[in-house]
Structure 1
Amino acid sequence: MEMVPLHLPGTLRGKPAPESGMERTAARIQEIDALRGFALLGICLVNAQVIAGVYGLPTGPFAVGDHVAAWLVTALCTMKFYLLFSFLFGYSFTLQIRAADRDGVPFARRHGRRLLGLFLIGAAHAVLLYPGDILMTYAALGLVLTAVRRLRARTALRLACLIIAFLTAVFLVIGLLTVVLAKPDPGAATDLAARDTAAYRGGPLDIIHANVGLYREMAGGAILYGGHLFAAFLIGFAAGKHRVLEEPARYTVWAKRILGLGALIGLPGSMFMAMCENGPLDDRFAYIGRAFGILTAPALTAAYVCGLLLLMGRARFGRRLRDMLAPAGRMALTNYLLQSAVLAFVFTGYGFALYGRVGPGVLALGCLVLYGTQLLVARHVMARTRYGPAELLLRRITRGSSARGSERALGQGRAAT
């Protein structure tokens, strides 16, 4: 993401946008929904490894396939798709500001209620389903973004780059100290796997207790990685100020450049991170790998964004791709929670209790099936309603009685037609 230029010229080469930004802001921006829908795939592939209890290097008859699957998920997905969601969160923040101005309501108060709703949903998600929940972190960082919302776009981009550079340095120092001072301890991973396996194959109370414990253990990492998320917030915020996703055709030339440069920078760094986490390097190099990931993942995420936007810019194919992804993105919060619910039912004591019994290869195939199902279901649901269940709940928390009034008016309008 840091590959977005510090100054975006008012007119760039490319075809003129078919609609003005103001016209598109009043309705759904399909590009944002499609990007959210695409991000759900990477989020599912990464989160599933935690929920399913995938530990260490794969062994057994499918070890090669499992190793390739784990390696590819780390290289292509880990740290990239939460950055994509974070970028879209920052972009949507500018849309929320415009909506509040359009409705004549105080932005900070309305957005504060939205963040509270997001935090409460995230807390329930973390306790019941997935301790790696990111919604609570989004809610906390959203307060910070609200406080600095008057930043200029150029300042926001510079601050994002400084944050990324600082985090890279921190992880690199920790990584070098770990390589020099630490010794490999295979037994520690085995003990951890045994502890979690017993808990997650147990009853609901065992699962909840394990989720709470793991969330506490992850709290320190969440604080460190929170800076990475906030950097993506700032980049999305800057892009929103320039209405990049509302008029993507204006930035076609920049998109092509960022696609090439982002892949050139992002892929080598991501491959090195995968080597540190999935072999051939051992666990002592994990922090060094993460340092390279923090530095280069934004570039690969930017390449994903620009590549998808360029594909959606193609006439017939682009419309089909956007129509396939956008409905899932319109109910992204619902789909995010549903992914955790389905995976928890399959892999924990809530259902089949397959925790630790499925390798990365089969798990990745299962995620593809789950994601494909979500695309089909979302298209069916969004053809009949405006909001997914979780989105409707969050909207009602955010807007209160005014949300229910607008929903009734919308329903009456549909009935009249």
Structure 2
Amino acid sequence: MRTQETHPARPDVRLAAARITSVDALRGFSLLGILVVNIAFLASGYRMAGLAEPAFNSSLDWGVRWFVTLFLENKFYLLFSFLFGYSFTLQVDSARRQGRPFVPMFLRRLAGLFLLGLAHAVLLFPGDILTTYAAVGLALLIFRGVRPKTAVALAITLTLLLAAAFMLLAMLATMGLDMSGRVADGSAQAAASNSALGGMFWQIISEHLRKLSFIIVARVFFQGPAVLSACLIGLAVGRLGVLRDVGAHTRALRNLQWIGFTFGLGGALFYTMCAWNGTVHKFWGEAVDLVTAPLLAAAYAATFLRVLPYLPRLGRLLTAPGRMALSNYLAQSLICSLIFTGYGLALVDRVSPPVEVLIALGIFALQVVYSRWWLRNHRYGPVEWLLRYLTYWRRPSQPQ
């Protein structure tokens, strides 16, 4: 047995390498989508308030808003959450092979993730999701022993309950809640937010803390369950070992594409119309999107995994930032803060949606180059190294 572990057969080595590469490439792909979505929230207080920036009202501006909302928003963080659940199974298996107690290691990891997320939320971006992952990780510990079918059933149940909650909110709003005053209040608060974000250090921190009081409620009752559902699907896929041999599941991936694109795009279109047209209450759009966004995210993942073997250069480009996803996620917020807030250029609410997307693409291109350069001489990204130190409570070996 020891000989097999020390000197594995060559095909097994290639298979493991391919699996890691595809997962890291998918993580890099998700990171790009998250940046294109998040940059709008980092660039203007209006977007964080769910409103369009009044200074940018051209057809091109609205076309970009609709494109991002339709194809990207609420899809890529679900992909990232799926990969968080999948990676959880890899960590469990790794601890078992090494004979290490998994629970205390993972709790240290979650504590480090929570502290990083808290600092990220206060200093850079109150829309941080790392603290949500830290909380959801505790739930994964509880469910780590469930069968894949049970994990999928739990994920579906959570999603449907969450959608039902939004439908209830939509019905309550339809029964008499006047939204006009709320829109006016939102515009005033967004303008005040822009002023604070373009100000001094203490003003920026104060504004982030103000937003956090509202975001925490949304995360606990709404986004948290959605993230947990995606993580449970990732846990089920990891337990089944599907991504170890993607080619053996071509039919399943093809079915995901047909179902995901058909229903996912339909739901995304309805969600986008609710978000920007104002003719139907946004809660109805949220309810539909909660059910259909995971399908579209799954279709994206299935398509990506199917075409990746035919685009090896693209895979290599995305693998490097995917291996350093945590470092790059935090760096994205730092760079955007230096561009849009008083930390740097203070261009808050002065950049149009099309230019925001171009800036996001430029940032990610730089991260691809930097990640490939860094990983030539390091095994982990800088923040990954720190989190690994906290997890194992010892200094990781860095050189490759």
The TM-score, its normalising length taken from structure 1, stands at 0.88
Question: Are the equivalent residues in 2 in contact too, given 1:19–1:247 (CA < 8 A)?
Answer: no
Matched, 1:336 2:334: no
Select the residue among 378, 385, 390 that pairs with 1:397.
Answer: 390
Aligned partner of 1:263 in structure 2 is 261
Go from structure 1 to structure 2 and tell me whether the alpha carbon gap of 1:168 and 1:387 turns closer, same or farther (over 3 Å shift).
same
- Residues in 2 aligned to 1:158 and 1:23: alpha-carbon distance in whole angstroms: 34
What is the deviation of 1:61? 7.0
What is the deviation of 1:46? 1.6
Matched, 1:292 2:288: yes
Select the residue among 207, 215, 219 that pairs with 1:218.
Answer: 215
Aligned partner of 1:40 in structure 2 is 31
Residue 241 of structure 2 aligns to a residue whose secondary structure is: coil
Go from structure 1 to structure 2 and tell me whether the alpha carbon gap of 1:60 and 1:353 turns closer, same or farther (over 3 Å shift).
closer
Question: Are the equivalent residues in 2 in contact too, given 1:249–1:313 (CA < 8 A)?
Answer: no
- Residues in 1 aligned to 2:305 and 2:11: alpha-carbon distance in whole angstroms: 16
Select the residue among 143, 147, 156 that pairs with 1:152.
Answer: 147
Go from structure 1 to structure 2 and tell me whether the alpha carbon gap of 1:110 and 1:121 turns closer, same or farther (over 3 Å shift).
same
Aligned partner of 1:208 in structure 2 is 205
- Residues in 2 aligned to 1:220 and 1:47: alpha-carbon distance in whole angstroms: 19
Go from structure 1 to structure 2 and tell me whether the alpha carbon gap of 1:73 and 1:303 turns closer, same or farther (over 3 Å shift).
same
- Residues in 1 aligned to 2:343 and 2:134: alpha-carbon distance in whole angstroms: 28
Aligned partner of 1:301 in structure 2 is 297
- Residues in 1 aligned to 2:91 and 2:19: alpha-carbon distance in whole angstroms: 12
**How big is the alpha-carbon RMSD for the aligned residues of Structure 1 and Structure 2?**
1.8
Query: Within 5 Å, which residues of 2 pair with 1:161-172?
Result: 161-172=156-167
Residue 29 of structure 1 aligns to a residue whose secondary structure is: helix
Residue 110 of structure 1 aligns to a residue whose secondary structure is: helix
Aligned partner of 1:387 in structure 2 is 380
Go from structure 1 to structure 2 and tell me whether the alpha carbon gap of 1:19 and 1:64 turns closer, same or farther (over 3 Å shift).
farther
Question: Are the equivalent residues in 2 in contact too, given 1:114–1:398 (CA < 8 A)?
Answer: yes
- Residues in 1 aligned to 2:265 and 2:366: alpha-carbon distance in whole angstroms: 29
Aligned partner of 2:7 in structure 1 is none
Tell me the alpha carbon deviations over residues 317-375 of structure 1, each in whole angstroms, 9 at most, x when there is no partner. Answer: 2x212111100100000110010001011110000111111221211121111112212
Matched, 1:175 2:173: no
- Residues in 1 aligned to 2:56 and 2:201: alpha-carbon distance in whole angstroms: 32
- Residues in 2 aligned to 1:187 and 1:138: alpha-carbon distance in whole angstroms: 34
Tell me the alpha carbon deviations over residues 177-222 of structure 1, each in whole angstroms, 9 at most, x when there is no partner. Answer: 2133222234212211122012101111111111111111111110
Q: How many residues align?
A: 384
Go from structure 1 to structure 2 and tell me whether the alpha carbon gap of 1:26 and 1:105 turns closer, same or farther (over 3 Å shift).
farther
Unaligned runs of 5+ in 1: 1-17
Select the residue among 190, 193, 196 that pairs with 2:190.
Answer: 193
Go from structure 1 to structure 2 and tell me whether the alpha carbon gap of 1:61 and 1:167 turns closer, same or farther (over 3 Å shift).
closer
Query: Within 5 Å, which residues of 2 pair with 1:26-37?
Result: 29-37=20-28
The TM-score, its normalising length taken from structure 2, stands at 0.92
Aligned partner of 1:250 in structure 2 is 248
The percentage of aligned residue pairs carrying the same residue is 39
Residue 181 of structure 1 aligns to a residue whose secondary structure is: coil
Select the residue among 301, 322, 347 that pairs with 1:354.
Answer: 347
Matched, 1:125 2:125: no
Tell me the alpha carbon deviations over residues 237-270 of structure 1, each in whole angstroms, 9 at most, x when there is no partner. Answer: 0000111112111111111111111100100101
